[in-house]
Amino acid sequence: MLTLNISEADIALANYERIHNPLQAIRKRMDAIYWSSQGHSRQSVARRSCVHRNSVKNYIKLYNRGGLEALKTFQYKGGDSVLSKHRITVEAFFREHPPRKAKEAAAMIKDLTGEELHVDQVRRFMHKIGMKPLKTGHIPGKADPAEQQHFLDHTLKPLIKMAQDGQGYLFFMDAAHFVLMPFVGILWCFKRIFIKAGSGRNRINVLGALNFVNRKMETIVNTDYINADTIAEMLKKLARKFPNKPIYLVLDNARYQHCNYIKDLASSLNIELVFLPPYSPNLNLIERVWRYIKKDVLGTRYYECAQKFHQAIKQALTDINQNPKTKMELKSLITPNFQTFAQNLSQ
């Protein structure tokens, strides 16, 4: 007589899996095993679990051979797709011309192979070859990947080593303009949530200089605008706080940073301005800090007034230098690992 030889631990686990496993087929198997462990007849178990009586017997045999893990394994492989013989051709084409949706992919496949398939078949095929829907990013169209790589290898990396060796200070500077508006994002939730949107477009401006070695920020905050005078104020602040060693300041090509007034002031303060190649925010580490603040402070949050919004931004800037949790998160974020746009270009 066929007997179910199951441990108490597996009974408890089967009881959990029969309710919580995401796959209905596995839930049914676990349900049948659980009720069998409770002494019910196969006929009763089949009725409770909505499966055939013979299936209950097969599940018991499967468990006795391989335990609960065997019940989670399916041996059925299915037949070959009609696209199997065209896989190399279709995959190569999709790598160069990724479709926006399954319907578009079906049209491409028909043009390439002559096979007319339902969108569900096409979707399954794309999953099978490793494709999945991913949100696209964007890069500046005028960026020069070769120039970026040259700057990274011959300017930025030597400066990073110099700062790590204690021969000078390396800062990454940029301005961010935070606006009181909703930033939608992703939440784990049971239904779609809508974030309130404040009226108006109140903003707070932050000019920041990120110290590469200790990952601390020097900031100047205002609510009007960033201009050459603001940059000059930051240069003087850095010169006062970090004397005795040369200061290297990596920054973009904003016009108010490129003027002779700023260049002359920097030279007099023993600060070397290191201008990034045009359209190269990916090489400015402080951009990662701005993204972190936007996600952590503004993402999926509503501020009912400008005062609370400003307080939240200022607190985030304080946390970067003082909060151990924030410092730990930025430690893994602010690393000398740079991606050039050449690595992201698909065509």
| pLDDT recorded at residue 206 | 97
| pLDDT recorded at residue 186 | 80
8 Å CB contact between 89 and 111: no
Cross-strand bridge partners of residue 314: none
Cross-strand bridge partners of residue 221: 206
CATH of domain 146-343: 3.30.420.10
Angle, vertex CA 38, rays to CA 32 and CA 43, nearest 5: 50
Length reported for the chain: 347
Angle, vertex CA 334, rays to CA 330 and CA 340, nearest 5: 145
Q: What is the pTM of this model?
A: 0.66
E-strand ranges in the chain read 169-179, 203-211, 217-222, 247-251, 271-275
| pLDDT recorded at residue 1 | 65
Q: What residue ranges of the chain have pLDDT lower than 50? A: 346-347
Measured distance CA(126)–CA(128) in Å, rounded: 5
DSSP states of 78-103: -PPPTTGGGHHHHHHHHHHS--SSHH
> In the 8-state DSSP scheme, what is residue 193?
-
| pLDDT recorded at residue 347 | 43
> In the 8-state DSSP scheme, what is residue 214?
T
Which tokens go with 54? 């013979």
Give the mean pLDDT of the chain. Answer: 89
Which tokens go with 65? 């051979």
**How big is the chain by its Cα radius of gyration, in Å?**
30
Tell me which amino acid residue 235 is: L
8 Å CB contact between 312 and 303: yes
